[in-house]
Amino acid sequence: MKQTAVDWLIKQLESEYNSFPLLNAEACIKAQEMAKQQIIKAAASAYEDMFGTDGTEYGQRYYDKLTQDDK
C-alpha cells in the first residue's frame, strides 16, 4: 500500500517501540487527517491554477489514488 509520510512514521515508531499502539493515539489520528487535507488542498490548488476552476473533487480523487493499494 502506498502511504503518506505520517503513516510511514507511525509504522516506524510502532515497530521501534514494540508495536506500541500509536496508530490509535489521538495525536496520530489528527496528524494523519492534517496530512490528508494538505495533500488534497495541494492537488486542488494545482488543478485550479491549471484550469481556473474548483479543484476540490480532483484533490480528493488524487488523494484516494495516492493511498490506494498497489495492484
Residue with cell 500509536: 22
Nearest alpha-carbon partner for 44 in 24, 58, 61? 58
3-state helix, strand, coil split of the chain in percent (to 5) is 75, 0, 25
At 21 the pLDDT is: 67
**pLDDT surpassing 60 at residue 57:** yes
Q: Give the structural domain span for 56.
A: 5-67
- Phi/psi for 17 (5° steps) reads -105, 40
Give the least confident one: 8-17, 21-30, 39-48, 51-60: 21-30
Counted domains in the chain:
1
Angle (CA) 44-1-22 rounded to 5° is 90
Average pLDDT, the chain: 86
Average pLDDT (46-64) is 96
Question: Who wins on pLDDT, 43 or 7?
Answer: 43
C-alpha cell at position 68: 490506494
